[in-house]
Structure 1
């Protein structure tokens, strides 16, 4: 068979594939082929990039909202105190949310409330409840001790008596709807209830006492004492004289459950709205703007109860589950923090 004749003057060469960037070869990286990613990779990259961008945008806006409210109170930290002046101090009430631990409430306070207080040079004291009813019992016991005339035994030299308090009022910052319900019940129990526990409310049975164990880590805690009075007994009690500091309810939406994952993701990507709302509430406390108690304030942030686990919402007894009942003689002297309309932006 005859072979085709070669054309004079032309040399046939085969194309040599590119070996890639020599710098990449020196690093031991493989040569990447120039082609579009597959459909699955495209969906994955778009999802990850979109979610990352949404998180970064939300956190940046949340920080901007927090800086806005910090800027409104920062001038207070620059004002000097006189030698006998005491810095302003507020009380913060925390309680473990239904179905979770106290650590979640602490993180919520540290992320949203604490930065505003620090910016305004406001000191605080934490009152925590690890279980349902502990906040109610702590507040009621504090009021009962005040009614008995039990003062501060640590002031041995009378320094606190000689010192001058800050001109702004104190405050009770209550974090979460569940803590707010306990706070109101403890307030009524302390003001309207007796100074000593009734016989039915004491723990006298030896079987109910905690058995001493060698291992302290496994030692059981005493149950939370029962309330001295019930809401049905409010009207038949005589209120005691007790001054309550202005109150601020800080929102604490806390959603649990696997089936609620879409809503949890939505809230996770909208922290900026919560930061702005809590920043506004905390700023009202730092600046000392409050109003008188209004009808319906006991139902503030009522929608948070919809987030609680269904098994807890089905219960009919307990500080978290019973409807809040207030006595007009008690709430007529209460005050709630609120910023004026011209300071909302």
Structure 2
């Protein structure tokens, strides 16, 4: 037998092995003849890379879904624990307890980020407990401090019998308002009133005077007349809502209903209302505002007026004189001045007193805090109500990305922290303010961006400067304590079904 014959005899075996290998490759995966006829490919196991990718995606998505499901269960349990007040019935003469909430945005972020915490962790519990709330949101640093201080100064002026504005300031504002009204009337008088009776148009535009039915001339600026000489009055001056609705016919003989709030009925200011500060920055501004209102002057001091005047003077000096400007340029400059004045009004007012001046100032005695700490409406002074501070868990910056991811997947722990603190507010668990409360939620400052803090210290920002509390003011303050709830012992409330009209119950 030659070598050629031996090669030919070996070919069948090699061909059979090759065919078996091809058949083995083709037989990978499962297929159904019906699927095969429809053109559907074989069902195969994914490759190693696709398996890794799928596991990672499922783990990430599963972590988010698990966290959201736990948040939903925890929220339902907290709402069930505080729902006793929400189920209480109120008559027409009673108003529920009301808390005040101050919210400020995190550094280098927007106010919407703070509102997410409020809507997700705070609002559901307050609604379930039947507690009303007033939300004060400001996106400019210093606005909360300015609002709180001005409200306290207003209370002091009422007790002293003083006007809201200083005499010289009120006279200046009055002259500005009169000048503005005069300009608006001149603009209206220049407009042509189409399809309107001329005499009526003159009365509406405030031009000249008119004769009434008795032949007497009446100044149209003081009293506008129609074409028959009768005075034109607004509908609100002619009718009251009760007259239009016909309610007075049924209610004229009924006794007047005196509405009283639960905060007014309480025997102590500690049991009335409450203050919630969302964020360390809002807490600092609130405390600074209380100090400014109680220890500062009633009206704007001269140093603040001088600082404002200096800024305006420097701005005017930077402008070109009128002799170098054309008519068009002057109009553009006046418009820019109006825009700048509007921005200045929107800016927070400068502090009337600084922390270094606290010891030199006397606390407001005209409020009668020791004897009768109530305003003219019978409500307790809001600054005597206990305070609750809620931390913002917002983190920014590339170096803090791992911590940001961890907090994103553990929001259920944030909800437990918020829920326990809000539960303490609902149950009125409070204590006296102490010196250690100055550093309340100071850990939040570690989450603030470093460059932002550096700029704030250079500009002497309220959030970044030293935080001081006067001992006299500290004696008037109180804080809410955390009241934990054992969520494992609380059953998940049953899901409420819609009524026969298909209306879903409020949650």
TM over 0.5: yes
**Change in 2 beyond 3 A, CA 1:238/1:130:** same
Conservation of the 8 A alpha-carbon contact between 1:176 and 1:252: yes
Using the alignment, how far apart are the partners of 2:315 and 2:258 within structure 1? Answer: 42
The match for 1:258 among 388, 391, 398 is 398
- Number of equivalenced pairs: 328
The match for 1:170 among 270, 273, 282 is 273
User: How much has 1:335 moved relative to structure 2?
Assistant: 0.9
The match for 1:327 among 442, 466, 470 is 470
**Which residue number in structure 2 is paired with residue 183 of structure 1?**
286
Answer 1 or 2: which has greater helix percent: 2
SS of residue matched to 1:138? helix
**Change in 2 beyond 3 A, CA 1:293/1:48:** same
The match for 2:91 among 58, 82, 85 is 82
Conservation of the 8 A alpha-carbon contact between 2:92 and 2:259: no
The 5 Å alignment of 1:194-233 reads 194-202=297-305, 203-204=308-309, 205=312, 212=335, 220=343, 222-233=346-357
Using the alignment, how far apart are the partners of 1:22 and 1:190 within structure 2? Answer: 85
Show CA shifts across 1:242-282 (max 9, x none).
Answer: 54211100111211012211110001011011000001111
**Change in 2 beyond 3 A, CA 1:239/1:100:** same
User: How much has 1:102 moved relative to structure 2?
Assistant: 0.9
Matched, 1:106 2:115: yes
Pick which of 55-64 and 192-201 moved more: 55-64
Conservation of the 8 A alpha-carbon contact between 2:98 and 2:273: yes
User: How much has 1:62 moved relative to structure 2?
Assistant: 2.1
Matched, 1:20 2:144: no
Show CA shifts across 1:74-101 (max 9, x none).
Answer: 1111111132111221110011111111
The match for 1:43 among 26, 36, 52 is 52
Show CA shifts across 1:33-60 (max 9, x none).
Answer: 423422x222211211111222222222
User: How much has 1:125 moved relative to structure 2?
Assistant: 0.9
Rg larger for: 2
**Change in 2 beyond 3 A, CA 1:35/1:185:** same
SS of residue matched to 2:392? coil
- The TM-score with structure 1 as length reference comes to 0.84
**Which residue number in structure 2 is paired with residue 295 of structure 1?**
435
**Which residue number in structure 1 is paired with residue 66 of structure 2?**
57
**Change in 2 beyond 3 A, CA 1:330/1:22:** farther
Pick which of 43-52 and 328-337 moved more: 43-52
Structure 1, unaligned runs of 5 or more? 5-13, 152-158
**Which residue number in structure 1 is paired with residue 361 of structure 2?**
237
**Change in 2 beyond 3 A, CA 1:26/1:246:** farther
Conservation of the 8 A alpha-carbon contact between 1:19 and 1:31: no
Structure 2, unaligned runs of 5 or more? 10-21, 162-255, 317-332, 370-380, 488-507
Q: CA RMSD in A?
A: 3.4
**Change in 2 beyond 3 A, CA 1:149/1:162:** farther
User: How much has 1:339 moved relative to structure 2?
Assistant: 4.2
SS of residue matched to 1:303? helix
SS of residue matched to 1:273? helix
Conservation of the 8 A alpha-carbon contact between 1:280 and 1:344: no
**Which residue number in structure 2 is paired with residue 7 of structure 1?**
none
Matched, 1:248 2:391: no
Conservation of the 8 A alpha-carbon contact between 2:277 and 2:388: yes
**Change in 2 beyond 3 A, CA 1:214/1:340:** closer
Show CA shifts across 1:283-325 (max 9, x none).
Answer: 1112222111122101011110011111122232111001210
**Which residue number in structure 1 is paired with residue 494 of structure 2?**
none
Using the alignment, how far apart are the partners of 2:135 and 2:119 within structure 1? Answer: 12
- The TM-score with structure 2 as length reference comes to 0.58
SS of residue matched to 1:296? helix
Matched, 1:193 2:290: no
**Change in 2 beyond 3 A, CA 1:44/1:282:** same
**Which residue number in structure 2 is paired with residue 10 of structure 1?**
none
Conservation of the 8 A alpha-carbon contact between 1:280 and 1:339: yes
**Change in 2 beyond 3 A, CA 1:77/1:24:** farther
